[in-house]
Amino acid sequence: MELKTTSSDFYELTLEPIDISSVARRIVPPTCGATVTLDGYVREHTRAHKRTLYLVYEAYQPMALRELRRIVEEARAKFDIAHVGIVHRTGQVEIGETSVVIAVAAPHRRAAFEACEWLIRELKRTVPIWKKEFYEDGSMWAEGEHYEAHRAN
Amino acid sequence: MELKTTSSDFYELTLEPIDISSVARRIVPPTCGATVTLDGYVREHTRAHKRTLYLVYEAYQPMALRELRRIVEEARAKFDIAHVGIVHRTGQVEIGETSVVIAVAAPHRRAAFEACEWLIRELKRTVPIWKKEFYEDGSMWAEGEHYEAHRAN
Amino acid sequence: MNNEIKASMPSKLSVSILFFGAARDIVGASQHEIQIAANSTVGTLKSEMLATYPELARFGRSLLIAVNCEYADEHTMLKSDDEIAFFPPVSGGT
Amino acid sequence: MNNEIKASMPSKLSVSILFFGAARDIVGASQHEIQIAANSTVGTLKSEMLATYPELARFGRSLLIAVNCEYADEHTMLKSDDEIAFFPPVSGGT
C-alpha cells in the first residue's frame, strides 16, 4: 500500500521484506551528496523471561500513510533535504528482519542525519502502527512512546 | 583490500561497486536495534563551468586502513555502539555511484546516529584518500578538509 | 424530499467507529457502525464507549482518538459519516 | 661484522619516501629510496624535499607527513627503513 505525492518522496506499508538499498536509491537526485538511512529491526529479546518468537505490526493504514506524509512535509520545512523514503513493515515480522527504513537524501550530510533522526522519533510518536509480541505461550501488545494528543502547536 | 580486527568491525577499500545493504547487514548482531548508514556518492557538479565526467580516488592503502581502524576504535570508546563497517571505493567512480558507506549498528539509535556522523567527519579529515576530478579537457585534485597535523590531544 | 429537514435538524448522526491494537482486543471487533446524538463531540462519544466497554478506561488519558484520520481532541464536533478511531499509544518503528 | 659499528654510528639512513595526490604529480614519481644524514628529523627531510621540489612549497603548512603510516610532526626522529609519506590534505568521502 503506497501513497505518492507530487514530489519524489514516498511512504509505504508493505507485507514483503524490505530491501534497504532500494529504498535508499529511489530517493537520490543527481545533485545530492549523501543519503542517511536508518534501518530498524526486530531485536532478539525477552520480556518477563519469555523469548519473543516473532512480532506482528498492525497499522491503521490510511491514517498511517497520512501521518507519514505529514511528518515528511514537516521535516522538509525544518531541514534542507531533497527527498525522503519511508517503508514500514506490517504483518508478521521475524527476529532480525527490518521493520522500518527511513532514507533521507540531501545535498549535505548534516541535514540528512538530523532529518533522519527527527523522522524516526516522530514516526514512533505519532504514526498509528502497533506492535504485538508473540511468545510460545501467548502474545502481548508493546507499549508505545507516549503521544500527547493536545499538541502545543 | 581489507583489514579485519578481532571484533566484527571491518574496513575495506574496494575497486568494485558498493552494495550498501550488504555493508549494513554484515554488522548487525542479534541484540541490536538500529543500523544507521551513510551512503556518500559522487555528485553531478561543475567547477569553473566544466562538467565532471568521473572521479578517481587514490588511497595510501596501508595507512588508510590503519586510520580507519583508529577512528573506529575511537568511536567505540566515545559512543555505545556494537559494530561498524566502512567501505571506501578507490579507482574510477562514476557520477551517482557510492564512494563511501559507513554503517553503524547499536542497541539504541541515538548512539548509531552520533557515531556515524562523527565517523564520516573524521574519515574526511584524516584518512589518506585523495579525489581527482576528470573533465572533458583535463583533471584536477579536489581540495580536502583541512587536517591539523599537530593535534590537541 | 425530507433531505432538507434532515440536514437542518438531524436527530442522529451515523458514524463508523474503529478500534486498533489493544483497544480492539477489549472491544472484540475492529469496526462498528453506530448512531449518536446530533451535536455530539469526540468527548461525548468517548464517554459512551467507556460506558459500553469499561475496560477501555485502563488506557486513561493515553487512549487516542482520530477523526477521519487526524488526531482529534475531546472538543472536536462530529458530523455524519465521520470515521472515528480509538487506539492506545502507537508502537511502530522498532 | 661491522653491523655493530653501523648500529652505533650510522652516517646515513636509508629511507623510502612516498608521494600521494597532487604532491606526486609535482614530484613526478610515487616512490624514492634515499639516504639521509643520521639524526635527521621529519623537518630535516621536509626541508630537503622542498629544496629538491620547490613546487611542494605551495601546500604550505598543509603538506602532511606520515612516518610508517602514522601522522608525524617535524620533530619526529627518523630511523633506517622508515617509510615517509608526503601528501596534501586528504579528500576522501564524497
CA distance A80 to B145: 22
Here the ipTM equals 0.82
Answer with the residue of higher pLDDT: D32 or B33.
D32
In this complex, is the C-beta atom of D94 within 8 Å of any C-beta atom belonging to chain B? Answer: yes
Q: Is the pLDDT of residue D2 over 60?
A: no
* pLDDT, position A26: 74
How many angstroms separate the CA atoms of D78 and D44, rounded? 10
DSSP run (H or E) holding C66: strand C64-67
pLDDT at B120 over 80: yes
Residues from chain A that touch D92, judged by Cβ atoms under 8 A, are none
Residues 6+ apart with CB under 8 A from A140: A47, A132, A133
Are B and A neighbours with ≥3 CB pairs closer than 8 A?
A: yes
Q: Is the pLDDT of residue B152 over 80?
A: no
Mean pLDDT of B100-109: 91
Q: How far apart are CA A64 and CA A132, in angstroms?
A: 17
Does the pLDDT at position B116 exceed 70? yes
Distance from CA of A134 to the nearest CA of B (A): 17
Res C7 pLDDT > 60: no
Question: Is the separation of the CB atoms in B17 and B96 below 8 Å?
Answer: no
| Nine-digit cell string for D52 | 629538491
Residue of C nearest to A40 (CA): C94
Report how far residue C5's alpha carbon sits from residue C24's, in angstroms, rounded to the nearest whole number. Answer: 36
A34 vs B38: CB contact, 8 Å cut-off? Answer: yes
A:C CB pairs within 8 Å: 94
Of A40, A41, A144, the CB nearest to C90: A144
What is the longest distance spanned by two Cα atoms in chain D?
Answer: 54
The set of cell numbers assigned to A29 is: 537526485
Contact B20 A21 (CB under 8 A): yes
pLDDT of residue A46: 61
Interface check D94 vs A, CB under 8 A: yes
pTM for this structure? Answer: 0.83
Write down which chains contact chain B via at least 3 CB pairs under 8 A.
A, C, D
**Closest Cβ opposite residue C92 in set A129, A149, A150:** A129
Residue A148 has pLDDT above 50, yes or no: no
pLDDT tens, A84-134?
999 999 999 888 888 899 999 998 899 999 999 999 999 999 999 999 999
In terms of Cβ atoms closer than 10 Å to its own Cβ (0-12, 13-18, 19+), residue B37 is: buried
pLDDT of the residue at B52: 85
Alpha helices in C1-94 (DSSP H): 3-8, 21-27, 42-52
> Residue holding cell 567547477?
B47
Residue type, D73: D
Burial of D20 from C-beta contacts in 10 A (0-12 / 13-18 / 19+): buried
Q: Do A116 and B36 touch (CB under 8 A)?
A: yes
Chains contacting A with at least 3 CB pairs below 8 Å?
B, C, D
Residue B151 predicted with pLDDT over 60: no
Least confident of A37-46, B72-81, D2-11: D2-11
Taking all residues of chain B, what is their mean pLDDT, rounded to a whole number?
82
Average confidence score pLDDT of chain C: 89
Of residues D8 and B13, more confidence is placed in: B13
pLDDT at A28 over 70: yes
Instruction: Check pLDDT > 90 for residue B16.
Output: no
Quick one: average pLDDT of B95-117?
91
Q: Please answer whether residues C68 and C83 qualify as being in contact, where contact means their C-beta atoms are separated by less than 8 angstroms.
A: yes
Cell for B36?
544507521
3-class SS of residue A114: helix
Sign of CA dihedral D70, D72, D77, D79: positive
Distance from CA of B33 to the nearest CA of C (A): 7
β partners of residue A35: A105, B39
Nearest CA in chain A to C22: A141
Q: Return residues 101-120 of A near D (CB < 8 Å).
A: 109
